[in-house]
Amino acid sequence: MSFVEIARFTDVYEADLAAAFLASHDIEVSVTERFQTTLDPLMQRALGIRLMGYADDVDRARQLLERARQGEFMEADGDDVPTEPRARWAGRGIALFAVMVSGYPATSLPRRLRPLQIAGMLIIVAMVALSWALWLWIK
């Protein structure tokens, strides 16, 4: 039996997901060019990552991948990842605030926290606790 290209991907992780999906449907596949592309990520787009399988399983594998692309295997409840812009920016705002207010105490001599840094850290802890409580309340 010979190996034939089933599909080509530009991302090694997408190829691994497709390989796991096909393996769950009893189709044995192999992801090629994995090591070249993980050593140099820019090579992923240049080489492409091929999903190879036995010639007997090619048609069935391609049909399964096409059905997956069309969303046939998606669950009705949708994603559990929040897509609201405010959810994405909340974490970035807290991180930016932490950098601006608290700083990195190990760079200052003597190695003690300044009052502004202590206040900033307390505010960050309070903001994290508040956002966690709001998240639980909204959920």
What pLDDT sits at residue 100?
Answer: 60
Q: Which two three-digit tokens encode residue 111?
A: 């190695």
Query: Do the beta carbons of residue 66 and residue 25 sit within 8 Å?
Result: no
**Is residue 32 domain-resident?**
yes
Structural domain span for residue 102 = 85-138
Of 103, 12, 108, the closest CA to residue 51 belongs to 12
What pLDDT sits at residue 94?
Answer: 66
15-55 per-position pLDDT tens digit: 899 999 999 999 999 988 777 777 777 777 777 788 999 99
Pair 58, 9 in one domain = yes
Pair 14, 51 in one domain = yes
Pair 18, 56 in one domain = yes
Domain boundary among the residues 34, 69, 104 is at 69
One-letter identity of residue 52? M
**Is residue 77 domain-resident?**
no
Domain boundary among the residues 45, 69, 93 is at 69
Q: Residue ranges of the chain with pLDDT lower than 50?
A: 109
What pLDDT sits at residue 109?
Answer: 47
Residue 122: how many other CB atoms lie within 10 Å: 12
